[in-house]
Amino acid sequence: MTGRRPEQRLRFVPENGGTAAGTGPVWVDQDVPMVLACRFPHEAKVSRYELGSAPGERLRRQLVGCLFTMSEPDRGVGSSLSVQNYVVALRMFLRSLDCHVATTGLADLDGEVVDRFQDAMVARYGPGSRQPWVLVNQVCVLLREAVEEHGVVLRASLARRALFGATCPKPPVVPRDAYTPAEARAIARAARVDFGRVARRLLAEGPALLELGGHPGRAVGGWKKKANIAWYLDTYGDRTIDQLRDESGGEYVLSGPNMVSPTAVRRMLWPTVRDLVGFWALLLLQTGITPASAALLTTDCLANPSAGKVTLRHHKYRAGRARSERIARVRDGLGTSPGGLVRNLVEITARARRWAGSDALWVAVKEKEGFTTRAAGEFRARNGQNSPLQQFALDHHLVYEDAPPDGAEPLVVHGSRLRKTYVAAAYRAVGGDVGATARAAGNTARVAMHHYGDIASLGPLHAWTVADALYERVEAARASGRPTGSPEVVGTAPSPPTSAPDDEASATEVVEVQLADCHGFFNSPFAAAGEACPVSFTGCLQCPNAVVTADKLPTIITYLHHILGQRFLMGEDEWCEAWGADFVRIVDDIFPRFDTSTLERAQEDAQLSGGSGLYLPTVATARGYRHG
């Protein structure tokens, strides 16, 4: 692994296929359609997007300039896929404008252009689609970038509209689910089969073949012997059929039963992209790192092996520059443990890395294209083509667990679902502990809860986890240290207190408060002896001096409605700390002491009074109020 995090910057390349790193675009002549070509450091190929067919050359250049600045490190655009999404939104926005936009700039537009664009997208995709919301917000992001970073002065109506963003509904997104345990075992089993085949071919059969070969011009068998062709390719690098014919002086001819195709020899020396899929899938299933992090691994990513564990150092792009360097302590050993997997992969790709001149871990050879150092970026299908991941599922007959036997659909392997499967297993192992799951996934607790805990396969466990958490909070409210005792609850008027000495008369004087009758206002457990009780009237529910009778029930019911209403304004922990003890006292201790008819009459009286029997000071209605 390199010592620093690769820059998340677009590299703009000219149309001749060369590379030219820079911070600005390479524009073509105005008569030629505008083509944006870019590649990020962690990607294998250059991606090109055509913009010349979109109207409005001046607008087009201004908005694309905003996209360039947004591609700087930690600015939000970190991959060609993000660039593609913005280009699609930009192209559709320009086509939604009037046809007379040849000389129009951003400063000439008004706020209605965003509304018209939104209406056009809703009409195109339908009101139930999430696409209009996404496209409009992407355009508004570009407009805000023009104001903040490029100093463009927009009209007031457009500036306000860009700040507000999309106003159409945003349908909820269902998070991608994890693979079932049976599907995950099938993928891991297939990956181990691939691992054995590739390791045997490249670590045993290939070296054995090289030992039998020599220079085709001098060794026995010449250009017709497979071992000689293997020796030649290993010594001079990958060659095509035409190159072998030219370099052999015409002696290499691909005809006849004894001639050897370079394709048959190539796979004995260097791994193909398809060969590395099993390593990649097994690594994600066992470590849980993101697919993008796995694609950036280098040969020195392992460190500090001890006690059957090893540190896996990797980058996590979307974590931000300061937190992008990550480490994971994983199992180490022989075979297909994470540590053994990486070491075997380093050895398998050693010959290919020598010719690629890179320390990248995922190096493979491609027919007619040579060596690629970003093989992990080519596992997914692009533009509807077959992908190595699809071929991996077909080769091993992987199907979904619930697929019908007569029409089984091949299982689709997604890197994000492999990672989610690992985190889901961690979520089960810790019994739904969101904090532990977040640490296992390298995310915040909120992200872990919404993207890993709350998915379909973990629905029952997640529901029980939430219920247990609420139960623990209520139990914490029951055992809170604030209450010092329980009030006396009687179904009839309280009996008069027993006679007391003159010096205790004031201490046992009955004082009527809102929720109860107090029989020790100057002998309060919340104050020194002889001093008046200093707490709010709500503290009576936790005081042994209080006596609750039926005539106080309407006020108590009104108070209960108030604290239930506060639940919608406060978080769970905040509400339990402020009102949980009183809620438990009323529901568990006071209401059960009265019969149903008494409670019904008290409820009717509370509704008729409209809450007039309860006086709440302003501070008691505040969000941060702590009573008692």
Q: What is the mean pLDDT of each run of 10 residues along the chain (628 residues)?
A: 42 44 38 67 70 78 85 74 87 79 77 90 88 92 90 88 85 78 92 94 92 88 88 88 86 75 88 93 91 88 90 74 73 88 93 90 86 82 68 89 73 87 80 70 69 65 61 56 59 44 52 78 75 76 83 85 72 74 83 86 80 56 41
Rounded distance between C-alpha atoms, residue 597 and residue 433, angstroms: 44
The 3-state DSSP class for residue 590 equals helix
What's the pLDDT at 7? 45
Residues 6+ apart with CB under 8 A from 372: 44, 273, 356, 363, 364, 365, 366, 378
Strand order from edge to edge, sheet including 511-512: 488-489, 546-548, 517-518, 511-512
Q: What is the pLDDT of residue 385?
A: 56
Largest CA distance in the chain: 127
Q: How many helices (H) and strands (E) does the chain have?
A: 24, 12
Q: Answer whether 0.85 is exceeded by the pTM.
A: no
pLDDT of residue 567: 66
Determine contact, residues 58/109, Cβ cutoff 8 Å: no
pLDDT value at residue 5? 40
Write the CB contacts of 74 (distance below 8 Å, at least 6 apart in sequence): 8, 320, 321
Kindly state the tokens that stand for 627. 């009573």
Distance CA 277, CA 280 (A): 5
Those residues with Cβ within 8 angstroms of residue 463's Cβ, 6 or more apart along the chain or in another chain? none
pLDDT of amino acid 137:
92
What would you report as the CA-atom Rg of the chain, rounded to the nearest whole angstrom?
Answer: 36
**C-alpha span between 316 and 287 (Å, rounded):** 14
Are 575 and 583 in contact by the 8 Å Cβ rule? The answer is: no
Q: What is the pLDDT of residue 57?
A: 78
pLDDT for residue 606: 81
**Angle (nearest 5°) at CA 76 between 73 and 77:** 80
